[in-house]
Amino acid sequence: MKTIQLIRQNNNDWQYVSPKLDLKKPLVLVFGNRFALEEPSLYDDVRALFPDGEIIFGSACAEISSNTVNENSITITAIEFEKSHFLVKNSNILSKDMDSLETGKDLINQFPTEGLKYVFVVSEGSFVNGSQLTKGMNIAIDENIIITGGLCGDDERFEKTIAGYNENPKPGEIIAIGFYGDTLDISFSIYGGWTPFGPERIVTKSEGNTLYELDGKPALDLYKSYLGDKAKDLPGAALLYPLNVTSEHENQSIVRSILNIDEANNAVILAGDIAENAKVQLMMTNVDNIANASERAAQQALDLRTTKPELAMLVSCIGRKLVLDQRVEEEIEEVIEVLGKDTTISGFYSYGEIAPFHGEVSCQLHNQTMTITLISE
């Protein structure tokens, strides 16, 4: 495997942050600030750098590279696979009548199944119901195939997200990269580092990803009472206080971010589905817990391997970035410390992370986690 990384800020020239190499038919991952990705000439600019590359774009709350966390910029990671190969498929949820489950099934069903070992997903993050998307992908996939990835981001604006495959990025796009090869070694792990606090309440009314009532009381009123003075900063303030959700039919609890509020119905809009009768508890964290969780995720993923990782795909949550603030690089530094500087690191800060629970196979939508996938040939 050969890799190179480049960064561009403020529409300046591309800067190589790793030794320049000539790559053959590379996978080209382009993560960046949404405004930067909307530059009309972007696709042509990247195509000029990689004439025979397969180019995937995704808007991000920040980009993750082998050196640092990049903000308000565009970061490219280009990868040449020497012993394995990949295929790229895409679907657009806007053309699927906003049906996230069917979009997920359609996306995975496009892949030939023979030899498929792993799928990495870059999904738009504005319209998609991530819970239904992952459910659809699980329906379509063979049980021994790992799926990880994330939902694109738009910083704290929550205006729109964009993605694209071999064209300028646009709304609604969901892209999947399927990896094939007997020599591929894939491992993954997730970790959060958030701690539940306060009383546990029961979801008494919900629909899809909208939470209306807890213990028979309006969910938004309860949430505002917990936040106190911070309630005036909703919905952004909610990213610092996600919900720990324990459903009747799940073995493990899952973290859900609040992405928006519905004042008219006294409800909160979550990043994924929440079932009635689920138990809910507020969560909080601090910088040290976030950094330690990233280290544990890297170590867990590494412990599952027999070969040294060549590439690490990291997807972390915007809520973690807000907690870390100016210390955002610390959780990436913890990962680098575990994996070593010989492993190329690529990824982005997202509106939702896609991966199975540790020790399981079916992928789920997560919030507020660090998701790490390690790849080698």
Q: Which DSSP letter does residue 357 get?
A: P
Residue 127: pLDDT above 90? no
Q: Which DSSP letter does residue 233 get?
A: G
Residue 345: pLDDT above 90? yes
11 versus 347: the higher-pLDDT residue is 347
Residue 143: pLDDT above 80? no
User: If we measure between CA atoms, which residue out of 108, 32, 24, 17 comes closest to residue 66?
Assistant: 17
Rounded to two decimals, the pTM is 0.94
Q: At what angle do helices 287-303 and 329-339 cross, to 10 degrees?
A: 30
Distance, in Å, from the CA atom of 200 to the CA atom of 222, rounded to the nearest integer, reads 12
Other CB atoms closer than 10 Å to residue 250's CB: what's the count?
Answer: 13
Q: Which DSSP letter does residue 230 get?
A: G
pLDDT at 252: 85
Q: Which stretches of 208-327 are assigned E, i.e. beta strand?
A: 210-214, 217-218, 243-246, 254-256, 258-262, 267-270, 279-284, 311-317
> Percentage of the chain surpassing pLDDT 70?
100
Q: How confident is the model over 284-298, as a mean pLDDT?
A: 94
Strands of the sheet with 116-123, listed across from one edge: 85-92, 173-180, 116-123, 146-151, 352-356, 363-366
Distance, in Å, from the CA atom of 159 to the CA atom of 170, rounded to the nearest integer, reads 13
pLDDT in tens, 16-69: 999 899 999 999 999 999 999 999 999 999 999 999 999 999 999 999 999 889
Domain boundaries, the chain: 2-191+288-376, 195-283
Q: How far is CA 296 from CA 124, 364, 371, 372, in A?
A: 28, 19, 11, 10
